Chains A and B, each alone.
Chain A
Amino acid sequence: MDLFGLVTITVLAVFLGFEVVSKVSSTLHTPLMSEANAIHGIILLGAIMVAGQADDPLILAVSLLAVVLATINIVGGFVVTDRMLVMFAAKPRRARKDDAS
Chain B
Amino acid sequence: MKLLDESAVLAGYLIAAVLFILALKGLSSPRRARRANRLGAAGAIVAIAVYVLGHDIANAAWIAGAVLVGILVAVPAARRVQMTQMPQLVAAFNGVGGGAAALVAVVEFTHGPDGWARSVIAFTVFIGGLSLTGSFVTFGKLQGIITSRAVMFPGLGVLLAVLVAGAVASAVAMVLTGSMLYAIVLLALGLVVGVLFVLPIGGADVPIVISLLNAFTGLAVAGSGLVLSNVLLLIAGTLVGASGTILTVSMATAMGRSVPGIVFGAFRSTSSGGVDAGGPDRPVRTVSAADVAILLEYSSRIVIVPGYGLAVAQAHHAAAELAEILTARGADVVFGIHPVAGRMPGHMNVLLAEANVPYESLVEMDVVNGQFKSTDLVLVIGANDVVNPAAQSSPGSPIYGMPILHVAEAQQVIFLKRSLKPGFAGIENELFFDPKVSIALGDAKATLSELLTAVKAGV
Binding site for B on A (CB under 8 A): 1, 3, 6, 9-10, 13-18, 20-56, 59-60, 62-91, 94, 98, 101
Contacts and interface: CB of A to CB of B under 8 A. Distances in A.
Contacts of B228: 46, 49-50
B359 to A, nearest CB: 8
Contact of B97 (A9, A37, A82): A37
Interface string B231-272: 111111111111111110011001000000000000000000
17 contacts: A9-B234, A17-B238, A31-B27, A33-B344, A37-B90, A37-B94, A45-B47, A50-B108, A59-B107, A63-B107, A73-B97, A75-B71, A76-B89, A80-B78, A80-B89, A81-B37, A83-B86
B93 A26 contact: no
Contacts of A56: 110
Highest count of chain B CB atoms <10 Å: which of A37, A49, A75 = A37
Contacts of B250: 24, 26, 29
Highest count of chain B CB atoms <10 Å: which of A21, A39, A72, A74 = A39
Contacts of B38: 82
A30 B91 CA distance: 12
A15 B33 CA distance: 22
Contacts, number: 358
Interface in B281-339: 328, 337, 339
B350 A87 contact: yes
B356 interface: yes
Given A44-B48, A68-B69, A72-B73, A28 B24 contact: no
Interface residues of B, number: 111
Contacts of B36: 35
Given A26-B251, A77-B90, A84-B86, 16 more contacts: A20-B239, A26-B339, A27-B362, A31-B37, A33-B247, A39-B20, A42-B232, A46-B233, A50-B228, A52-B63, A67-B67, A69-B97, A69-B100, A71-B70, A75-B74, A101-B328
Interface stretch (B156-164, B167-175, B216-224, B408-416): B216-224
A40 B247 contact: no
B90 A33 contact: yes
The 8 A-B residue pairs whose C-beta atoms are closest, nearest first, are A71-B70, A17-B242, A76-B74, A73-B97, A13-B238, A52-B57, A29-B345, A79-B78
Interface string B74-112: 110111010100110110011011011101101110100
Contacts of A98: 358
- Taking chain A's interface residues, is the majority helix, strand, or loop, or is none over half, making it mixed? helix
A72 B34 contact: no
A52 B60 contact: yes
B67 A71 contact: yes
A24 B28 contact: yes
B224 A43 contact: yes
A93 to B, nearest CB: 9
Highest count of chain A CB atoms <10 Å: which of B28, B100, B239, B328 = B100
A69 B96 contact: yes
A73 B350 CA distance: 21
Contacts of A44: 44, 48, 67, 100
A71 B235 contact: no
Interface in B346-397: 346-347, 349-350, 353-354, 356, 358, 362, 364
B239 A52 contact: no
A17 B246 CA distance: 8
Nearest to B55: A52
Given A30-B350, A35-B23, A62-B103, A82 B37 contact: yes
Nearest to B343: A30
B30 interface: yes
Highest count of chain A CB atoms <10 Å: which of B20, B75, B99, B104 = B104
